[in-house]
Structure 1
Amino acid sequence: MNTSPEIADRLQLAQQLAVEAGRGTLKHFQKSGLVVDRKADDSPVTVADREAETLIRDRLAAQFPADGVIGEEFGETTGSGDFRWIIDPIDGTKSFVAGVPLYGTLIGIEHAGQNVAGVIYIPGLDEMVYAAKGCGAWYRQGDEQPRLTKVNAAKSLQDGVFVTSQVNTFARRDAMEAFERLEDAAFITRTWGDCYGYLLVVTGRAVAMVDPMLSVWDAAAIQPILEEAGGAFVDWRGEPTVHSGEGIGANPHVLEEVLAICREYPRLK
């Protein structure tokens, strides 16, 4: 792997933890009696979210005690070194609660403030994509050997699938017209959203994924994977950042078409 041993070791552990934590969620998936709590922002959380993040945090504390950690369920633990892990134990909790297998476990690795590696794992489908800077993006399903993956070469939205997580998030930021324009331009539109939508872009099955609203733990793992797959992850101004509260993942050709629409709307923050 053409990266530092420090990053390579962490990426290997991230893959192991994403699979272990992700598969752990399956013991609660599609089971009757699952208790769904509500957080302060009214988003759902379950015992599966908490168990998965706890597993990851405990293992990181044992193997890389100097690293910082930020996760959706338990906030931030400051580290003494330059590495920070950014975790979303279940990205797509609403899908998980509904029994839909298009949710995932996200683990991003940050070094000195830069996102250098990431893993997306979809437990219900046993699909994974992962990458580290300079090493390409890799995809595997089930027991298959990992293979390099690339975004597709579509020239415009009309040549492929446009995906988003939830349509009403466009309305919540006064950008419903943006969704309508993107939908009209695309060959087909689907809400195969959350991290699964980005996995579809990384593996060439979708041409663009647009999120009007998202958190840093939704984005940190995704940026390096998309970039290593020959695509981009940017905000609605076209800046390659995971801190704007919004995101676009696309191949380079389609990105400009999407930005021509999304740039017209005010910044979230």
Structure 2
Amino acid sequence: MNAAELENLLGFAVAAARAAGDVTLKYFQRVTAERKSDGSFVTAADREAERLLRERIESRFPDDAIIGEEEGARPGSTRRQWVLDPLDGTYSFVHGVPLYGVLVALEEATEPILGVVHLPALGETVYAARGLGCFRNGVRARVSTTSRLEDALLLATDFGVCAQHGKGRAAEELQRQAKARRTWGDCYGHVLVATGRADIMLDPIMNHWDCAALLPILTEAGGTFTDWRGQQTARGGEALSTNGALFADVMGIIQACRKDGEEI
């Protein structure tokens, strides 16, 4: 795939994500949530936004596969698959907090090649494609240059959840060594790392559709997006974003905790 084709696909994905974001804004701060079987929230906004994304993709690229959080998988006949999370950060959304996003990714042969995170209530869109760089509202985005943990801003959606998934000791040690820690979570936390406004983001449990858009964004911004074992993947069931300069130090702490018996 040449750069011009990839750029066209990225433009399509950005426009689709923004249109889906407009759908969510119709419901923001005025919607009643339901509970899924796993206890997580879902709203009419999730469902309507995903329908819009699917309709646009099916109309433009009818042979591509699609997988989304709300409507599952649709097979295709090409090597490409669109990965959709129509409303990442539903807990924030249903509480009227603007830190939620629409995630759109495209994979080729299972590898994410472009990603879009649109934050409708903030008017912010961060997007990237392989070899084309990462951008925030049209301006080139880069990770921070922070090189010491004692100067770092560490994020997590919920630090307490790390312990529930066997990563509590590592999360505690990272919190102890970092300069500051905040719970600006879900996709927003990873976007903050990609755009140089934070340095590390921890997520002990993630789905494929949570991760696929973030991997190219972090990579093209000069950072890292991996699982907690340091493998670059969108399918690891967990996520760790860093500015790159801190990656070795973060992994050193995680590996030391694993040697001490923590399951990571």
TM range (shorter): over 0.9
Partner of 1:252: helix, strand, or coil?
coil
CA contact (8 A) 2:3 2:132 kept: no
Equivalent position of 2:174 in the other structure: 182
SS in structure 2 of the partner of residue 27 of structure 1: helix
- Unmatched tracts of structure 1, length 5 or more: 141-145
Partner of 1:136: 133
Shift of 1:44: 0.6
Task: Assess if the C-alpha contact under 8 Å between 1:157 and 1:208 holds in 2.
Answer: no
Q: Is the 8 A contact 1:3 1:135 kept in 2?
A: no
CA distance in structure 2 between the aligned counterparts of 1:158 and 1:211, rounded to whole angstroms: 20
Encode CA deviations 1:224-257: one digit per residue, 9 max, x unaligned: 0111111110111111011110111111221111
State the AA in 2 paired with 1:120.
V
Question: Which residue number corresponds to residue 17 of structure 1?
Answer: 16
Look up the SS of the partner of 2:231 in the other structure: coil
Q: Distance in 1 between matches of 2:78 and 2:4?
A: 16
Q: TM-score, normalised by structure 2?
A: 0.95
Q: Which structure dedicates a bigger proportion of its chain to helix?
A: 2
Q: CA deviation at 1:3?
A: 4.2
Kindly provide the amino acid, as one letter, of the partner of residue 181 in structure 1: E
> 1:6/1:266 Cα in 2 relative to 1: closer, same or farther (>3 Å)?
farther
CA deviation profile, 1:7-30 (whole Å, cap 9, x unmatched) = 222211110011110121011111
* Equivalent position to 1:62, from 59, 62, 75: 59
1: CA distance between counterparts of 2:150 and 2:100? 26
Cα deviation, 1:52-105, whole Å, max 9, x if unaligned, reads 001000110000001111111111111110110111101000000000000001
> Which residue of 231, 236, 239 corresponds with 1:239?
231
Aligned to 1:143: none
Please say if 1:114 is aligned against 2:130. no
1:158 corresponding residue in structure 2: 150
**Alignment gaps of 5+ in structure 2:** none
Measured in 2, the distance between the counterparts of 1:19 and 1:61 equals: 17
Output the amino acid matched with 1:71. Answer: G
Identity %: 43
- What is the aligned partner in structure 2 of residue 89 from structure 1? 86
- Aligned with residue 194 of structure 2, among 198, 202, 206: 202
Query: In 1, distance between residues paired with 2:221 and 2:127?
Result: 10
Q: Tell whether the 8 Å contact from 1:102 to 1:122 is kept in structure 2 after alignment.
A: yes
The equivalent residue for 2:50 is 53
**In 1, Cα distance between equivalents of 2:75 and 2:164:** 32
Paired position in structure 1 for 2:252: 260
Matched residue, 2:208: 216
Runs of 4+ in 1 over 4 A off after TM superposition: none
Q: In structure 1, how many angstroms separate the alpha carbons of the residues matched to 2:230 and 2:263?
A: 13
C-alpha RMSD over aligned residues: 1.3
User: Is 1:192 equivalent to 2:196 in the alignment?
Assistant: no
Letter in 1 for 2:165: R
CA distance in 2, matches of 1:61, 1:135: 25
What is the SS of the residue equivalent to 2:198? coil
Partners of 1:220 and 1:80 lie apart in 2 by 20
Amino acid at match of 1:104: G
Matched position secondary structure for 2:27:
coil
Displacement of 1:4 after TM fit? 3.5
Match of 1:173 among 127, 141, 165: 165
Contact kept, 8 Å, 2:32 with 2:94, in 1: the verdict is: no
Query: Amino acid of the residue matched to residue 41 of structure 1?
Result: D
The 1:161–1:3 alpha-carbon spacing in structure 2 relative to 1, beyond 3 Å, is farther
State the one-letter code of the partner of 1:130.
Y
- Whole-angstrom distance in 2 between the partners of 1:117 and 1:82: 14
SS in 2 for 1:99: coil
Counterpart position of 1:228: 220
Q: State how many pairs are aligned.
A: 259
Q: How far is 1:262 from its partner?
A: 2.4
Counterpart contact for 1:105–1:122, Cα < 8 Å: yes
* Cα distance in 2 between the residues matched to 1:223 and 1:26: 26
Partner SS, residue 26 of structure 1: helix
Q: Which moved more, 1:200-209 or 1:258-267?
A: 258-267
